[in-house]
Amino acid sequence: MLYQGDNNMSMQDNYVTEMESLLRDLAIKIWETPELGLKEKKSSALLAETCLKEGFEVKRGIAGMETAFVARWGEGKPVIAFLAEYDALPGMSQKVSLAQEALEEGTPGHGCGHNLLGVGALGAAFALKRSLENTGTAGTVCYFGCPAEETITAKGYMVRDGYFDDVDAVFDWHPADINTVNMKTTLACDSVEFIFKGRSAHAAGNPEWGRSALKAVELMNAGVNYMREHTIEDVRIHYVITDGGQEPNVVPARAAVWYYIRSPRRSQVDELSRRIFLCAEGAATMTETELEIKVTDKCYNMLPNKTLSRIAHEEFEATGVPAVLPDEEKYIEGLRATLTKEQLEETFRYNKMPLDYPNLMHKEILPLEEDGEVSPGSTDAGDVSWKAPLAHVRVACKPVGVPGHSWQAVSAFGSELGMQGMLTAAKVLSRAGWRLIENPVLVSEAKAELENSLIKEPFKLALTPDLQPPVT
């Protein structure tokens, strides 16, 4: 196994090492200032301003979102892009600690590690830019500031509005508990809010005058839950009631329910949404309420590009897995001790690792799969992968088995484990970008592979021109 530093340093590794203190500083600042999707004003400003200082041309507030931006440097082909995310999760505030303790109760926290994600991608973009600049080579580096990944919002709108039109290749990464280049696809998804409007009345005095919007929500959900049996196994449908009325003694005149509707293929989601809309309409009819349907986001499943994934995998092997410093071992053991045997076994099984895997941090890079399975989540990077060839790298930034969106994850992503993973990601992604600069034929191969896929299943924008990001 290869640790960082054991290998032959590439030009890109040196640039990442050169800017290490800048990257650490940014990742910690964003971790300490967790902001929810579309409200990431400080985090996006920090990254956009850092790009400006590096000499990138920066366009902020793109695709109808104040916290979205694109930074470009260089001229000519190929155009190589890196994706940044920086949104946090509600109620996940957490210290770097071995016990669950909030930094500030009830506030957001970086449970998905997007503090590392955005900065790692920035390190990759800067290292590639410095390589082009110092060797006088043609090529363009793009760094996309993509807000609100957690609600699968931004990238679809950025694709729809043409920001990826001239992009030739995309390298993306995510903090994880394992080291791998992900060939798994994701679920396509619709995010839809159903708002019912009825008539209020005294719930005890004159219930016959009331028409309950909450009853409409309940009936709609009952309909969808009966429908669930008649869908394919990979389908995921879940909801939260965002408005259920105010007090029991008032018949609710307004109620709302927010759905995620997911399936492996975009066309399956379209069909499921059609059926769920019928449930909503049926509920409105039964309760004599009015129905408003607000589609906020739609995304495609991920289409991993084999050519780019192979390159990313080779560069990951050459870079080595993140270093684990000796004084981190106590912390790693402590975090691992908070996990159950079942959690660990599930992780090993899912990643096809031996069930008695001995290491607390993942110390290998998983072999590249030929064709990935469906992973039961969704990401708006899916839309990007249908527009330009994309490879997705996952780097260990927390002990094996630590689940995403957990307090242990927030803790690890603010710790040295997160920083080491982020630095590795910056190196792997910038090396992969440089491989394309040096071998333009690989760009053509990656694009031909995507074009082949699009012949079998064409890419049709899921987000129609009338839809707008849910900015409030």
Name the residues that contact Zn ion, by CB under 5 A. Answer: 112
335 is written with which tokens?
């975090």
Q: Which is nearer to Zn ion, 13 or 85 (CB)?
A: 85
Strand residues in 125-268 grouped as ranges (E): 139-145, 169-176, 180-181, 188-197, 236-243, 254-263
Q: How far is the CB of 177 from Zn ion (least distance, A)?
A: 13
Question: How many other CB atoms are there within 10 angstroms of residue 399's CB atom?
Answer: 27
> What is the enclosing helix (H) or strand (E) of 148?
none
Q: Minimal CA–CA distance to 347: which of 396, 299, 381, 387?
A: 396
* Residue 208, φ and ψ in degrees, nearest 5: -65, -20
Contact 267, 274 (CB under 8 A): no
Q: Which is nearer to Zn ion, 174 or 435 (CB)?
A: 174
Q: How far is the CB of 114 from Zn ion (least distance, A)?
A: 6
Q: Which is nearer to Zn ion, 388 or 409 (CB)?
A: 409
Q: How far is the CB of 397 from Zn ion (least distance, A)?
A: 11
Q: Which is nearer to Zn ion, 146 or 272 (CB)?
A: 146
Q: Which is nearer to Zn ion, 37 or 78 (CB)?
A: 37
Q: How far is the CB of 462 from Zn ion (least distance, A)?
A: 20
Q: How far is the CB of 226 from Zn ion (least distance, A)?
A: 33
Q: How far is the CB of 8 from Zn ion (least distance, A)?
A: 32
**Residue keyed to tokens 């159903």:** 194
Position 400, amino acid: V
Q: What is each CA distance from 309 to 299, 347, 397, 429, in whole angstroms?
A: 21, 22, 20, 11
β-sheet bridge partners, residue 196: 255, 291
Using CA atoms, how far apart are residues 155 and 152, in angstroms rounded to an integer? 8
Residue nearest Zn ion by beta-carbon distance: 112
Q: Which is nearer to Zn ion, 112 or 272 (CB)?
A: 112
